Structure formats: C-alpha cells, structure tokens
Amino acid sequence: MSALLATGARLATMCVSLVCGVLAARLVIGEAGVEWFALLSLLVALPGLISFSDLGAGAVVVGAIATSSDVRRDEQLIELVTSVVRIMLCFAGAVLVTNLVLGLTGGWTLILGSTGDLPGATAGAVVCLLVWVATVSLGIWQRILLGLRRNHLVILLQGLISPISLLGIWIMLSLGGRGARPFLALGTFIATLVVAVLGLVVAHRSTAPLLRETAGRVFHPRRFRSVRVMDVGWAMFAQILAAPLSLTVPRYILAQTASSNELARYALAGQVFFALQALIGAAGLTLWPAFARARAEGELRRGPAIPSLLFGAGAVGATTITVLIGPWFFGLLSNGQLTVPTELILSFGAMVTLQAVLYPLGMFIMDGPGIRFQVLPSLLSAGSTVGLTVLFAPLLGAPGPLLAFAISVVIAQIVPYALYIRRHRDRLYGRPRESIEAL
C-alpha cells in the first residue's frame, strides 16, 4: 500500500513539476536567454553533488524507526536521532566553509564551466548554497517519514518545490531585471527550505516527543553522548557518495567541454527524465522498509526480480512516449529555440531504465551485510562513470555521461547484486532455502 501511495503521489507531483518546468524553461529562455537557463540548471543540480548530508548515518534512523515498537518513547531511537542530527549539523558547517572559500577564490567559475563566465554566476552559486546549508540542518525529517513508511508525504511536500520555484523565477524576472538573472535558481533553494520546515513539523507531529527530546540533547554532547551509527553509516555513506559521482559530477564534466546550448539541451531532456527518475526512486525507496519489516517478521516470500522487471518496463514505456512526442514537447519547452535529438532522449532512457532495474535489487539487500556489500560495486560504478564520461563527453556531447552511466551500472551493480542475492538467499529471506520461491 505504501508503494502505491508513494507512486501515486509521485505521479501527481511529477505532472505538476512538468507543467511548472515547462513554464519556467519558457520564461527563463524567453526573458533571459539560453545561457542563463544553462546556468540555472547547473546551480539547481548543486545539492545533488553533495547529497550525502548525514554521511550515510540516516540509514540507521530509517531502519530503527521501521522496526521500533514505539517511536515516541524509544530511548535508543532518541539517541540514534540525536547522533545523526549532530552529523548533519557538522556537514552543514563544512559546506558553509567550502562555499565561502570557493566564492572567494574563484572556484565556482571553474566548476560552472562555460556558464561560470556569466556576470554574477559566482554570487548566484554562493547565495544558493548559503540557503541550502540551512536546509541540510533540517534534513532529518525525510529519514523519519521514510522509516514510518510515509514516503508519500515526503513526495507530496516536495511537490511544492516546483510551483514555489516558478513563482520565485517570475518575481525575480519581473522585478529584478537583468541583475536578478544570476539568482534565478534561488527560488528553488528557498522553496526547498520551506518544504524542509514543513516536513520537520509533520515529522514532529508524527513522532512527538522524539524531535523535542532530540533538540534538547543535540547541543549538549558531554551530557548526552553520541552513540555508534557509522558501523552501517560508513557503508551507506560510500553509496550515497557514489550517487553524485555517477549522476551529477558528469554534468559538470560536460560543462567543461560543451557549449551553453548543449548544456541547455541536456537540461531540457532532464526535465522529463529526472522527473521520471524521481518517480522510480520514490517507488523504490518504499521497498526498503517493506523488505526490512517482512524479513524481521519472517514473512518475506519473494525476491526483487518481478519489481525490477516492472520498474524497467515502466521506464521503457516512458522513454518510448518521449521519443514520439519529443519534437513537439521540447519545442514547446524551449519556446522553439532548442531541439533535443533522438539520440539524447534514448541515452536518457537507457540511464533511467537501468537505474529502475537496479532499485529493487539494492533495496532488497539493505540489511547490514548487504549495505556493506554494496559499497564496492557502487564506488566502482561511480568511478567508471566518471572515467568513461571524461572519454565520451568530448566525443559524443550530451549523450556521453548518460551512456557512461548505463554501461557502468550494468557491469558494476546489476550483475553483482543479482549474484549476491542468489548466493545469500537464506539470510536475505530469513527462511530455509526450500521454502523460498524463485528469485
């Protein structure tokens, strides 16, 4: 049921995001130009580059909440949440310092590639990251709601980001003129902060007095010492670190060799496929606590093969539709100023399809040993994606990073995960081999 709710919520918010994305793209390209839309797409992607705000320790909170008999009065859970919040606050401080150093030294100009030379690009990046630091500090709400199997609430709240962002872009272009162009992405960052505040309120009401107890302890480390969370967290951190290496770093590698128009085409196609990726991720994440609870209760009967096939088939269907309507849709999206070639759409489709197949496999092995096993394949996949992107981007342009990701995921993750599940069936199912249905 939670998977259906999450998928339904993501479908609804995806439609809203696509409409808002169309309007935002047309507005920015029409009023400011293609190069400013390219800068906007790079700045909005920055949180994905440093998405490991809890260093992976949040996985402990998700698992603890999913298996706790009383989340409101579980002393061990309070200790875990307190420890994870401290890690997130330390991470936010590190991002703050790094952001200021990059702003003062001109590092943002280098990272932003061809768009970094636009007037005010560095200032835009610095201000956006300052707002994101505040958002990181409140990020525990997502882990709590995921553990409660209320991922649909996370998705619905995050669905507010697109309309608020569109409103912010419209206000800045209407009132700020040319001086507001470097800060167009700020609307997205402010919207994300607003959603984080709302999410924290929902999480508090769902678990009170858990977060109140945490707030009273987090700044008193001598009196309330942190507990061990990185025994699983370090492995989760490695996986979370692999995600931006695979999906976000290649975009910035592309920015070093591609023109603003090429980056804008990549961003246009991404309006569809990153929304589809988020839909897949929302449905996939609900499998984690569902598998964990079924395993703990001895009720796990089936493996992840059927969900993987269904996820992959859905991605293939969405890609086919996008190929058919692509010329009309992307022309509408860019106000007729950009075209997205079929090979770029198919490359995005390959990336999303293979990630869809991977999700249920990864969620199925999210117990302690399984999380640790995923470290090496995840890092190998990320490293391979970056290395192949360096080779492919100058030769293939925008499709290069996507094909690099697709090749790496098959070789370094899908095949090893499937073999691991077969090899460790008894532990993963928690039942004798003969009573387990086929993978």
pLDDT of res. 103: 93
Percent of the chain with pLDDT over 90: 32
The verdict on residue 299 lying in a domain is: yes
Q: Which of 165-169, 207-211, 287-291 has the highest mean pLDDT?
A: 165-169
- What is the tens place of the pLDDT at every residue in 85-97? 888 898 889 989 9
- DSSP SS3 for 45: coil
CA pair distance 364, 345, nearest whole angstrom: 30
For residue 316 the two structure tokens come to 């293939």
CA pair distance 157, 85, nearest whole angstrom: 21
Q: Which of 73-82, 124-133, 150-159, 220-229 has the highest mean pLDDT?
A: 124-133
pLDDT of res. 146: 82
- What is the tens place of the pLDDT at every residue in 346-380? 999 999 999 999 999 988 888 778 888 888 898 89
Over the range 125-153, which residues count as b (16 or more CB within 10 Å of their CB) and which as e?
Answer: bbbbbbbbbbbbbbbbbbbbbbbbbbbbb
User: At residue 247, does pLDDT exceed 80?
Assistant: no
Which residues, at least 6 apart from 118, have a Cβ–Cβ distance to it below 8 Å? 35, 36, 39, 181, 182
Angle at 434 between CA 366 and CA 293, to 5 degrees: 30
pLDDT of res. 438: 37
Task: Reply yes or no: is the peptide bond before residue 209 cis, omega within 30 of 0.
Answer: yes
**What's the Cα-to-Cα distance from 96 to each of 102, 128, 436, rounded to whole Å?**
10, 11, 50
CA pair distance 419, 372, nearest whole angstrom: 15
CA pair distance 152, 268, nearest whole angstrom: 26
The verdict on residue 437 lying in a domain is: no
Which one has a higher pLDDT value, 293 or 209? 209
The verdict on residue 14 lying in a domain is: yes
pLDDT of res. 47: 82
- What is the tens place of the pLDDT at every residue in 176-212? 878 889 999 999 999 999 999 999 999 999 888 888 8
Q: How does residue 439 score in pLDDT terms, banded at 50, 70 and 90?
A: very low
- DSSP SS3 for 248: coil
Sign of the C-alpha dihedral computed for residues 420, 423, 424 and 426 taken in this order: positive
Q: How does residue 222 score in pLDDT terms, banded at 50, 70 and 90?
A: confident
259 CB burial (10 A radius; 0-12, 13-18, 19+): middle
Q: How does residue 436 score in pLDDT terms, banded at 50, 70 and 90?
A: very low
Contact assessment for residue 315 and residue 280, using Cβ atoms and an 8 Å cutoff: yes
For residue 153 the two structure tokens come to 């609430």
Q: How does residue 330 score in pLDDT terms, banded at 50, 70 and 90?
A: confident
> In degrees rounded to 5, what are phi and psi of residue 261?
-65, -40
Total count of domains within the chain = 1
Q: How does residue 83 score in pLDDT terms, banded at 50, 70 and 90?
A: confident
CA pair distance 433, 403, nearest whole angstrom: 38
Q: Which bin fits 407, alpha (ψ -120 to 50), beta or left (φ > 0)?
A: alpha
Which residue carries 């919207």 as its tokens?
191
What's the DSSP call for residue 436? S
The verdict on residue 371 lying in a domain is: yes
User: At residue 34, does pLDDT exceed 50?
Assistant: yes
CA pair distance 156, 115, nearest whole angstrom: 33
434 CB burial (10 A radius; 0-12, 13-18, 19+): exposed
The verdict on residue 323 lying in a domain is: yes
Whole domain around residue 321: which residue ranges?
2-430
CA pair distance 358, 412, nearest whole angstrom: 11
Contact assessment for residue 167 and residue 108, using Cβ atoms and an 8 Å cutoff: no
Q: How does residue 236 score in pLDDT terms, banded at 50, 70 and 90?
A: low
For residue 293 the two structure tokens come to 């609870």
Which residues, at least 6 apart from 234, have a Cβ–Cβ distance to it below 8 Å? 55, 56
Angle at 129 between CA 46 and CA 161, to 5 degrees: 70
Q: How does residue 241 score in pLDDT terms, banded at 50, 70 and 90?
A: low
The verdict on residue 397 lying in a domain is: yes
User: At residue 297, does pLDDT exceed 80?
Assistant: no
Virtual CA dihedral for 180, 165, 139, 143, nearest 10 degrees? -160
- What is the tens place of the pLDDT at every residue in 37-72? 889 988 988 887 665 555 556 667 877 887 777 888
Instruction: Centre a 10 Å sphere on the Cβ of residue 161 and count the other Cβ atoms it contains.
Output: 22
For residue 46 the two structure tokens come to 């920055």
Which segment of 108-112, 186-190, 244-248, 362-366 scores lowest on mean pLDDT? 244-248
The verdict on residue 438 lying in a domain is: no
CA pair distance 64, 214, nearest whole angstrom: 15
Which residue carries 């090496």 as its tokens?
376
Q: Which of 145, 427, 410 is nearest to 291 (CA)?
A: 427
**pTM, 2 dp:** 0.73
The verdict on residue 435 lying in a domain is: no
Q: Number of C-alpha atoms within 13 angstroms, CB side, residue 177?
A: 1
